[in-house]
Amino acid sequence: MRDQVRLECSARGNAATISESRPIWAQVSDEWVSNRVAQLRLDPTTQEWTLWWADRNGRWMPVEYITPGSLSDALAELTADRHALFWG
């Protein structure tokens, strides 16, 4: 399915943003459209990661039902998506 959907990650400072990209179906071109899915943020003082989701206006909101922790914990929560914040 790599020709239909792909996950991308970009880093800036102490944050990594995960996006889902898909081809633009209405056009015959090589262009893709990206949708920001989640953001992982590292607190440099505590070395703990927090998970954020984008609201309908594109503003980042913290996932309040999990506590800051390890990167693997944040990624596990993103994958599980218990409250359909990331994958619908």
pLDDT of residue 25: 72
pLDDT of residue 31: 83
pLDDT of residue 24: 81
Given a cut of 70, whether residue 27 has pLDDT beyond it is no
Going from N- to C-terminal start, the domains of the chain cover 6-80
Distance CA 75, CA 29 (A): 33
pTM of the model: 0.83
pLDDT tens digits, 30-66 = 788 888 999 999 999 999 999 999 998 989 999 999 9
What does the mean pLDDT of the chain come to?
90
Q: Cα-Cα-Cα-Cα dihedral of 78, 80, 85, 87, to 10°?
A: 90
- DSSP labels, the chain: -TTT-EEEEEEETTEEEEEEEEE-TTSSSS-EEEEEEEEEEEETTTTEEEEEEE-TTS-EEE-TTS-SB-HHHHHHHHHH-TTSSS--
